[in-house]
Amino acid sequence: MTTISDKMAARGVGALTDRELLTLLTEDGQRADALLAACGDSLARIAGEGEARLRMIGGLGLRRARLLLAAAEFGRRAVAERAAEADCIATSDDVVRLFRPQLEQLPHEECWAVYLTASNRIIERQRVSQGGVTGTVVDHRIVVKRALELLATQLILIHNHPSGTAEASPQDRALTERIARAAALFDIRLLDHIVIARSGDFSFLRAGLLG
């Protein structure tokens, strides 16, 4: 009978099913089944669970729960590192791929700015604000000042919603308008403002909310 290890040796780790991956990490198929059942067959939901919750599922225990969390964090960091190697932005989806690994699971809100040349090459990525669960305060003057220092001609704003809802709040809309107006005074264009959440993402550009 072919084992999971045999399958991985013959076909590579990418050939394993979600259940088989979890079986390797938890050392038990029944625990893997319990995890998938409790989290709607979603590896992303399993990776987003806290240590205390994981320990309770299927008698996983502290050691295996921490191993799962370490594996999830390893994956997130690997994806973030690959994304960070990108030096050019072509679409809003590129921005989401760049920032989702570092923002999606944060318990607090952060706002970042990406400063670009006229040809969409990334000059700098900078965190411009860090707040609490429900919001963060962004000073539009600091955002535009940094663009001027870098001689950037374009910029993109990105922030996360720890609540998990990818919708633009009234505060998000007001901030977008303030920064767009302030940047335009110096011929700097706000290309997009993107909200990242576990449920998806929201783009002001896609929604037609940027002039």
pLDDT digits (tens, 9 = 90+) for 141-152: 999 999 999 999
For residue 85, what pLDDT is reported?
61
User: Tell me, what DSSP letter sits at residue 121?
Assistant: B
Contact assessment for residue 108 and residue 131, using Cβ atoms and an 8 Å cutoff: yes
Percent of the chain at pLDDT > 70 equals 92
Residue 157: band (very low, low, confident or very high) from pLDDT cuts 50, 70, 90: very high
Mean pLDDT, the chain, whole residue set: 88
**pLDDT tens, residue by residue, 88-116:** 888 999 999 889 988 988 889 999 999 99
The tokens 């449920």 sit on which residue?
Answer: 199
Interacting residues of 110 by C-beta distance below 8 A, sequence separation 6+: 103, 127, 129, 130, 131, 136, 159, 160
Strand partners, 190: 155
Q: Tokens representing 141?
A: 């003057």
Report how far residue 26's alpha carbon sits from residue 61's, in angstroms, rounded to the nearest whole number: 10
Is 80 exceeded by the pLDDT of residue 87?
no
Is 90 exceeded by the pLDDT of residue 189?
yes
According to the per-residue pLDDT averaged within each range, which of 28-32, 46-50, 155-159 is highest?
155-159
pTM of the entire predicted model:
0.65
Residue 120: band (very low, low, confident or very high) from pLDDT cuts 50, 70, 90: very high
The tokens 């921005």 sit on which residue?
Answer: 95
Residue 173: band (very low, low, confident or very high) from pLDDT cuts 50, 70, 90: very high
Name the pairing type of β-strands 154-160 and 200-203.
unpaired
Which helix or strand (DSSP H or E) is residue 173 part of?
helix 170-184
| HSE, side-chain direction, 13 A CA sphere, residue 172 | 24
Query: Phi and psi dihedrals of 33, rounded to 5?
Result: -60, -40
Residues 111-127, mean pLDDT to the nearest whole number: 93
